[in-house]
Structures are given as structure tokens and as C-alpha cells.
């Protein structure tokens, strides 16, 4: 469970290519897409309360200029709650002026992974782009390094596209998500609010539903004037608390096994990567052989996130039950 309690280190990876200087793909947009992104980022980063105490942020912009890829670290990693005023001016420097069509997505992700490599806690790259392909290296070749780092790639796509396979692969195979901005308000929501958390497993979901229902029943039957509560309901709550604690213990064991489940697919992926580095297979062959393994690893990342979320939900319910049972005497 590496990274628990250490905050999130997130790189905002901003596409500043020529197409970002237009409004195509986003309905009701009256300013260039790049200006929308900059405005929302300034608003997000100007208030440290949008972040947890240990969260760290960085910003990278990328584009193609004079037929050469340009990737610039606009803001190196800093604690999000202690950003100084200079960052506003730095973000203002991001521009799609003189940028050409096409974006070096692969190179940009590699640079972002170079930044996250020295970070602790949970690592995330948030790619904000309107691209459906990449100039230069196929970005999917970066998935290996992201998985080795346990770094998630989340994608915000400005405008719907017919060819989203590359972006979907980047997100899904690293345990992330892809969300599409259709109107300006979507970008605000996606930046300020994280993707929907992975769903709880059925066993936990059922237990949570039963517990919440029983707590509501208990609260609705409070005697007028503060008399004693129905002893039968209190005993039911005590029984539910024990079930919650048992489920927490079971989830803890399941989480402990996930690193073991990662070992075999990681070893197989490393073997294929070594074949590529020794030029025994082509990049195309590598991508074909690696895809299924990467999907397995992405599923494990989502499973881990789901179980961690479940533990948090159960912990909160146990605390609620402790309070209710204590008041009931």
C-alpha cells in the first residue's frame, strides 16, 4: 500500500499545440481552448484549499514548433497549499502562439514521468489535450514506465473524437480514466472534482447499504424526550459493527495480496521490454504483446483503489456506530 497518507503528486500536462488555439470541439466556447485551460488552472491552483495538505503539483506544457517538439516545465513540483504568486505568471506564459498542428504527447509524458519519478506517495499525470494522435514516439510506449512507477495517467480530452484509442489506452492501462469536455463547464468540473471513484465490491456495497439503512432506522425511532432507545436495534448495530470490522480485516488481506498478483505480469512485461531494448522485436510487436499484460495491471490498480476506498467507507461507518452505541449506553 505504498503512498498511503503521503498525498498526491500530480503533473498537469497541458497541450499547447496549434489546434488548442481554436475552439473546435467544445460547444459554447468563446475563447481559445488553451485560454480556457489556463483560466481554470489559475483558479484551481490559486486556492490551496482545493488540495490536501501533502498534495504536490507541477505543470508542463508541450507543443510542436518549427517541426520540433517543445516540452517545457512551467512549474516544477511544489506543495499545492504553499504556491506563491509567481506561479500565476508562469501559467500565463503557456501559449499556442506559433505552434504547429500535432502534439508530441509521448515525449511530454516521458518528461512528466521524469518529474514524478522522484516523488513519494500517489503519482498522477493529468493529460489535458485535444489530440487524437501523437507526433513522434507512440505514447503507449510510456505505459511501461508509468506502471513501474505506479503512476496513473488520467486524461481530459477537449472535445469528442472519433479516434480516441491512444488516449483510452494510456488511461485504462495505468488504472486511470478518460473524460471528455463537451462544454466549458465540463473542464471546470473535471479539474476541481476527481473522477468517480472505483465502485465498491458487491460484498462491501451490500454491507454498507444494510448499515446505513439500519442507522437511519435507529435515528428515526429516537424516543421523544430523550428516553432509552430500543435495545433490540442497539444490539443489531453492535452486530453490524462486528461485520464491518470483519470486512475491514478481509479487505486488508486482499490489499496485501495485490503486490503478489502484480509480480508475474510485471515480470512478463519486463521480459518483453528487454526484448524491445535489445531490438529483438519491433515497437509494433512490443505494443501488441504488452497490451494484454498492461490491461491486467491496470485492473489491479483499479482494484487497489476500490479496496482502499472501501476501507475508508467502512472506517467512517464504524466510527458512526461507535458514537451511536456509546450514546445508547
Q: Does a structural domain hold residue 23?
A: yes
Contacts of 181 (CB under 8 A, 6+ apart): 26, 156, 157, 158, 159, 187, 190
Say whether both 21 and 161 belong to one domain: yes
Query: Average of pLDDT values for 103-123?
Result: 95
Say whether both 178 and 248 belong to one domain: no
Out of 11-20, 21-30, 193-202, least confident range: 193-202
Residue with more model confidence, 152 or 162? 152
Say whether both 182 and 214 belong to one domain: no
Determine which helix (DSSP H) or strand (DSSP E) holds 163, and give its type and residue range. Answer: none
Last residue of a domain, one of 167, 192, 217: 192
37-59, pLDDT tens digit by residue?
999 999 999 988 999 999 999 99
247-304, pLDDT tens digit by residue?
999 999 999 999 999 999 999 999 999 999 999 999 999 999 999 999 999 999 999 9
289-319, pLDDT tens digit by residue?
999 999 999 999 999 999 999 999 999 999 9
The pLDDT confidence band at residue 93, using thresholds 50, 70 and 90, is confident
CATH of the domain at 66: 3.40.50.410
Domain count, the chain: 2
133-160, pLDDT tens digit by residue?
899 999 999 999 999 999 999 999 999 9
Is residue 225 over pLDDT 60? no
C-alpha to C-alpha distance for 50 and 31, rounded to whole angstroms: 25
Q: Does a structural domain hold residue 197?
A: no
Say whether both 71 and 162 belong to one domain: yes
C-alpha to C-alpha distance for 174 and 74, rounded to whole angstroms: 25
Q: Does a structural domain hold residue 3?
A: no
Amino acid at each position: 500500500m505504498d503512498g498511503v497518507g503521503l498525498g498526491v503528486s500530480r503533473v498537469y500536462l497541458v497541450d499547447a499545440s496549434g489546434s488548442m488555439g481554436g475552439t473546435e470541439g467544445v460547444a459554447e466556447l468563446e475563447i481559445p481552448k488553451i485560454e480556457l485551460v489556463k483560466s481554470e488552472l489559475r483558479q484551481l491552483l490559486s486556492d490551496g484549499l482545493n488540495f490536501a495538505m501533502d498534495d504536490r503539483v507541477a505543470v508542463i506544457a508541450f507543443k510542436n514548433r518549427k517541426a520540433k517538439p517543445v516540452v517545457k516545465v512551467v512549474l516544477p513540483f511544489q506543495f499545492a497549499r504553499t504556491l506563491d504568486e509567481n506561479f500565476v505568471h508562469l501559467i500565463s506564459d503557456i501559449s499556442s502562439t506559433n505552434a504547429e498542428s500535432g502534439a508530441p504527447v509521448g515525449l511530454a509524458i516521458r518528461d512528466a514521468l521524469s518529474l514524478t519519478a522522484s516523488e513519494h506517495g500517489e503519482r498522477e499525470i493529468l493529460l489535458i489535450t485535444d489530440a487524437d494522435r501523437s507526433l513522434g514516439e507512440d505514447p503507449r510506449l510510456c505505459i511501461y514506465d508509468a506502471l513501474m512507477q505506479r503512476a496513473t495517467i488520467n486524461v481530459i480530452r477537449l472535445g469528442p473524437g472519433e479516434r480516441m484509442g491512444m488516449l483510452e489506452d494510456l488511461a485504462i492501462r495505468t488504472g486511470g480514466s478518460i473524460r471528455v469536455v463537451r462544454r466549458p463547464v465540463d473542464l471546470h468540473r473535471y479539474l476541481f472534482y476527481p473522477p468517480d471513484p472505483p465502485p465498491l465490491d458487491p460484498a462491501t456495497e451490500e454491507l454498507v447499504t444494510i448499515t446505513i439503512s439500519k442507522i437511519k432506522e435507529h435515528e428515526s425511532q429516537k424516543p421523544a424526550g430523550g428516553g432509552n432507545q430500543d435495545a433490540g436495534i442497539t444490539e443489531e448495530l453492535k452486530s453490524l459493527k462486528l461485520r464491518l470490522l470483519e470486512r475491514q480485516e478481509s479487505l486488508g488481506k486482499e490489499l496485501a495480496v495485490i503486490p503478489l498478483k502484480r509480480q508475474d505480469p510485471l515480470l512478463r512485461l519486463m521480459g518483453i521490454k528487454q526484448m524491445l531494448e535489445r531490438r529483438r522485436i519491433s515497437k509494433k510487436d512490443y505494443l501488441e504483446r504488452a497490451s494484454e499484460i498492461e490491461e491486467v495491471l491496470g485492473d489491479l490498480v483499479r482494484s487497489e483503489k476500490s479496496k482502499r476506498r472501501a476501507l475508508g467507507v467502512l472506517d467512517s461507518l464504524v466510527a458512526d456506530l461507535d458514537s451511536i452505541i456509546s450514546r445508547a449506553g
